[in-house]
Every structure is written in C-alpha cells, then in structure tokens.
C-alpha cells in the first residue's frame, strides 16, 4: 500500500466514523410517497430493503464499537480536553462548509463562516478554542448535496451508506468532496494521519452519540432517520427558511382545501 | 450528506395537533383579531419555554419523574393532542373505534411529555427567544423562535398554532426545517400498517418506557 493510499484510507476511516454517528438521522419511507412533507422532500426510497440492512449494520457498528470507545474516552479524559478536541475537528470541517457557502452564492454566510474559521484557527490556536463565539459568528451546516440541490439537481433515491449513514444519489459526491476539502487530507506524515484519524473517530463517537441515541430510541428508527434527514436537507437548500405555504402544507392530507404539489391537502381553515 | 441536527436531541417527540373529529366538537374559536393573533400565541410559547427552562435548570434535582410532573400541565395546555393524533394517523384515524382513538390520544400525550422530560435533562446556558409572530390567514399563526446553544449555534423552532375551543394550541413544530408532525407520521403509520393498532400502542409504550429509563 502506498503512502497516498494509506492517507486516503485513514481519511476515509475518519470520515466514516463521523458519519457512523450521524447515521441515525433522518428519513422517511421506501416508496415515492406523499406524506407530511413539502413537495420537495417527497420520498424516493426504491432501495429500502438494502438501505435498512445497511442502517442496521451502522447501528450495530455504533453499539459495539463507537459507543464503547466513546464511553472509555469520556472516562479517561477531562471535559476540557474533550471540548478542545471537538472544537479542533469542527474547525477543520470549515473549509468544506465555506466552499459550499460560496458555491451556493450565499456570500453573507460564506463570509461569516470564513471569519469564524480564520478567527478560530489563528486566535483559537488551530481551532482548539472557539474564539468566534465572542462575536456574532454562529456555526453553520453545509455540504455538496445542498449545493447540488440549490443548483437544481434532483435528490434521486435515498441511500444509506455503510459508515456514512443517510445520503442520496445527489449527496453521494459529497463523500469524496469532503475528504478532499479536509486539511487532514494534505497532511504528509502517515503516523500523523493515523493519529488524527483515530482521534477523529473517537471524537465523532463521543460528540454524536446523543443524536444516535435519539434515533435508536425512536419508535421506528429507520423512518425517523430518513424523514429527518430528507427534511433537513431541503431546509438547508431553501436557505434555512420556511414559507407560509410550506408551513401549512405540513398539516397533511386530511385537510380538504387546496392541494399541495405533493398531492396533499393543506389545512382546513 | 449531513449529520443529524442536534435539535433532535431536544425535539424527540413534540406533538402536533388538530383533529377534525375532536376539533369540530369544540366551540368555534374566536376569530383572531389582529391583537389576539399577535399576542396570545406568543404567550403560549413563552409559557412552554418558561416551563422547559425551569425543568432544565432543576433537572438533576427533579429527576425524570419530577420533570414529567413539572412539564405535564404546560404541555397539556399548549398542544392539541386530539388534533395531532388525527393528523398523524391520516386516513387510518377514521378506521379506529372511538375507544381506540381515545387510547391513542392518551398514549400520544404520555409519549410527548415523556420525550420532553427525558430530553430536557440539564441546563448549560441555552436561551430561547421569540423572533416573530405572523398570522397565516384566515385563522392560523406561526410563532418563530430560536434556541441558542452555548457554542453559539442557533436552532429555529417554528410553532404553528390554531384556535381550538377558544384557545391557541400548537398543531406543529418545525425544528430546523424538520416537521415533528411529519416525523411522527413517518414512524407511526409504518408501525400501524406493519403491526396493527395494538402494535402501534405497544411501540409507543415501549418508547415511553425507554424514556423513563434513559431520562434519569
């Protein structure tokens, strides 16, 4: 295995860990089915049987690997250290977020995220401290799937990826893109790569376990995760805004008046 | 591809309401004047936020059972459980017997309070703020609020309210773009179709038991 191959693999492992914890997030149904969603979030899950197997695999991976490791990490390290580590990895994810901000022409958000990244990197000692929290520079989420959605690319079928969790055909290119945008990809030392990767996996297991727990404890975890993930992606694509029409559409099919684009009936007044 | 929004930690199971069958039996709601549309819904959400903050700040002292008791009155005042029940089950609702409908509404109420009691189990300086109250003619109102975490991350919480029995009640909560009503529909209707009504109730009661165990 070449150094370059090892480097890619360790980075992928790190990202995989990140995603394993995300796994529980969101989604809804296998068929294309109008539900209590905006029309944009209509569900297409033709691969549901396979997706559910991968979902269960990811949940098992979390149960038997990431969660026990995270529990051990919490026992042997002080909160101060864990917070610094979490800040460091969150900060390292910002180049990817900033890139997508600007690709979506969300200039204000991009400048805010860029300021946060530069401030935390320089004055927060490489991101260990959240220097930006002293200013009005809140953290944001962004990814390539959202960018493609903003550009009008259809969502495509819902996918659950091994290690990475909820995704879709449109979001698939985000996996390599996130790796390439990570500063860790450009670290040349193999020992350093492995160290960062290992710590990243442990950190992800630690920081995301609350979210995974919510999914695992839900009434029907697969559908909870699918619905939540799809809805949240659409929300990010819309620029974190909900119109009145979208709010009313949420009231579902029982309402006899006006039909939503998804075929639902909005609320009766 | 993105993580599960942290907001789900807080919104494990908010109820959303509005029941055709039950709501239609209520007295006609007051036509919301501009004044009531702007003020009363805000107070409803403020009451909920205040109850949550109290439970969060005293979380360890109260424990899960204490938080459940503390939050129950406010949650029952704020949400229209019969309405939520009917919306969540959609076309399945009318096929249930009256006794089954009552059982589902009662279980949904417990499910919701249990979720709040389990999730709001500590306080680290989080802040709620109401940003706007906007009418959705002819009778509904959306109260937009934020929850700011200690790391500065801001979550949006949009509460959709409508008049039921002369009072404003929440019929949906949309957290960072994720509709609680849609989440419930996705989970509950699949469970109902797979395991029938007894299976749905058993699933919800299992969830409530898990909340009591993990809520501490």
Q: What is the DSSP letter of B94?
A: G
Residue B21 maps to a domain: no
Residue A246 maps to a domain: no
CA distances from B144 to A44, A241, B133 (A): 30, 11, 6
Residue A129 maps to a domain: yes
Q: Which residue in chain A is spatially nearest to B94 when comparing CA positions?
A: A254
Residue B22 maps to a domain: no
Contact yes or no for B182 and A36 at CB 8 A:
yes
A-to-B residue pairs, Cβ atoms closer than 8 angstroms: 194
Residue B103 maps to a domain: yes
Taking the C-alpha atoms of residue A42 and residue A252, their distance in angstroms, rounded to an integer, is: 13
Residue A156 maps to a domain: yes
Residue A40 maps to a domain: no
Taking the C-alpha atoms of residue A58 and residue A28, their distance in angstroms, rounded to an integer, is: 17
Residue A3 maps to a domain: no
Does the pLDDT value for residue B1 go beyond 50? no
Does the pLDDT value for residue B153 go beyond 50? yes
* pLDDT tens per residue, range B16-69: 222 222 233 323 344 444 444 434 899 999 999 999 999 999 999 999 999 999
> Which B-chain residues 167-186 have CB contacts (< 8 A) with chain A?
171-172, 174, 176-179, 181-183, 185-186
Residue B169 maps to a domain: yes
Residue A214 maps to a domain: no
Which range of residues forms the domain containing residue A176?
9-22+45-207
Cα dihedral value B6, B7, B10, B11, nearest 10: -130
Query: Reduced to 3 states, what is the DSSP secondary structure of residue A244?
Result: helix
Residue A151's CB: how many other CB atoms inside 10 A?
A: 11
Say what the pLDDT of residue A229 is. Answer: 95
CA distances from A72 to A78, A80, A204, B126, B216 (A): 12, 16, 13, 27, 21
- Across the strands, what pairs with A167? A159
CA distances from A252 to A189, A243, A258, B16 (A): 54, 16, 11, 11
Say what the pLDDT of residue B68 is. Answer: 96
Residue B107 maps to a domain: yes
Q: How far is B177 from chain A (nearest CA, A)?
A: 5
Q: What is the mean pLDDT of chain B?
A: 83
Which range of residues forms the domain containing residue B83?
6-12+30-214
For residues A231 and B8, is the Cβ–Cβ distance under 8 A? no
For residues A200 and A10, is the Cβ–Cβ distance under 8 A? no
In chain B, the number of structural domains is 1
Residue A104 maps to a domain: yes
Residue A71 maps to a domain: yes
Q: How far is A208 from chain B (nearest CA, A)?
A: 9
Residue B1 maps to a domain: no
Q: What average pLDDT values come out for chain A (269 residues) when binned by 10 residues?
A: 38 38 34 41 86 96 93 95 95 96 96 95 92 85 96 96 94 94 91 92 90 92 95 92 74 42 31
* pLDDT tens per residue, range B76-129: 999 999 999 999 999 999 999 999 999 999 999 999 999 999 999 899 999 999
Name, in order, each residue with C-beta under 8 angstroms of B60's C-beta and a sequence gap of 6 or more: B122
Taking the C-alpha atoms of residue A98 and residue A109, their distance in angstroms, rounded to an integer, is: 8
Contact yes or no for B186 and A232 at CB 8 A:
no
CA-based nearest residue to A25, from A117, A145, A190 = A145
Residue B17 maps to a domain: no
> Which B-chain residues 18-37 have CB contacts (< 8 A) with chain A?
18, 20
Say what the pLDDT of residue B45 is. Answer: 96
User: What is the arrangement of strands in the sheet containing B127-136, beginning at the earlier edge strand?
Assistant: B127-136, B140-148, B154-164, B167-175, B178-179
Check which CATH number belongs to the domain holding B130 and give it: 3.10.450.710
Q: Which residue in chain A is spatially nearest to B213 when comparing CA positions?
A: A217
Interface test with B, best of A28, A45, A252 (most B CBs within 10 A): A252
Residue B61 maps to a domain: yes
ipTM for the predicted complex: 0.81
């Amino acid at each position: 295995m070449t150094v370059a191959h090892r480097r890619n693999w360790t980075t992928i492992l790190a990202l995989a860990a990140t995603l394993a914890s995300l796994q529980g997030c969101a989604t809804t149904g296998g068929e294309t089915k109008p539900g209590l969603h905006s029309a944009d979030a209509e569900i297409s899950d033709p691969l549901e049987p396979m997706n559910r197997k991968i979902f269960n695999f990811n949940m098992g991976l979390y149960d038997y690997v990431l969660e026990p490791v995270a529990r051990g990490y919490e026992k042997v390290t002080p909160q101060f250290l864990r917070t610094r580590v979490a800040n460091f990895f969150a900060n390292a994810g910002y180049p990817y977020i900033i890139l997508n901000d600007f690709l979506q022409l969300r200039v204000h958000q991009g400048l805010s995220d860029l300021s946060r990244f530069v401030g935390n990197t320089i004055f927060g000692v490489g991101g260990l401290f959240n220097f930006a929290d002293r200013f009005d520079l809140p953290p944001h989420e962004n990814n390539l799937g959202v960018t493609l959605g903003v550009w009008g690319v259809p969502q495509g079928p819902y996918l659950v990826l091994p290690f990475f969790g909820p995704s879709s055909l449109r979001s698939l290119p985000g996996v390599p893109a996130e790796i390439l945008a990570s500063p860790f990809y450009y670290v040349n030392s193999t020992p350093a790569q492995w160290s960062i990767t290992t710590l990243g996996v442990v950190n992800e297991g630690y920081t995301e376990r609350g979210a995974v727990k919510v999914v695992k404890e839900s009434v029907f975890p697969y559908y909870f995760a699918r619905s939540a993930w799809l809805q949240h992606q659409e929300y990010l694509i819309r620029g974190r805004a909900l119109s009145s029409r979208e709010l009313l559409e949420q009231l579902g099919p029982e309402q006899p008046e006006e039909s939503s684009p998804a075929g639902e009936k909005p609320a009766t007044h | 591809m993105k993580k599960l929004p942290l907001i789900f930690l807080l919104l494990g199971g908010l109820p959303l309401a509005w029941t055709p069958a039950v709501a239609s039996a209520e007295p006609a709601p007051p036509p919301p004047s501009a004044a009531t549309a702007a003020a009363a819904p805000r107070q409803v959400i403020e009451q909920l936020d205040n109850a949550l903050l109290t439970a969060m700040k005293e979380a360890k002292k109260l424990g899960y059972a204490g938080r459940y008791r503390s939050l129950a009155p406010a949650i029952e005042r704020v949400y229209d459980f019969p309405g939520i029940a009917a919306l969540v089950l959609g076309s399945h609702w009318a096929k249930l017997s009256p006794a089954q409908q009552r059982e589902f509404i009662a279980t949904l109420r417990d499910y919701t309070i249990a979720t709040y009691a389990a999730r709001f189990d500590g306080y680290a300086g989080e802040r709620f703020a109401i940003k706007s109250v906007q009418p959705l003619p002819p009778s509904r109102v959306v109260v937009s609020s934020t929850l700011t975490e200690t790391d500065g991350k801001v979550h949006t919480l949009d509460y959709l309210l409508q008049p039921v029995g002369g009072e404003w009640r929440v019929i949906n909560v949309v957290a960072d773009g994720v509709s609680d009503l849609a989440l419930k529909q996705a989970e509950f209707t699949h469970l109902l179709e797979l395991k029938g009504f007894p299976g749905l109730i058993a699933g919800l009661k299992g969830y409530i038991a898990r909340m009591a165990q993990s809520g501490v």
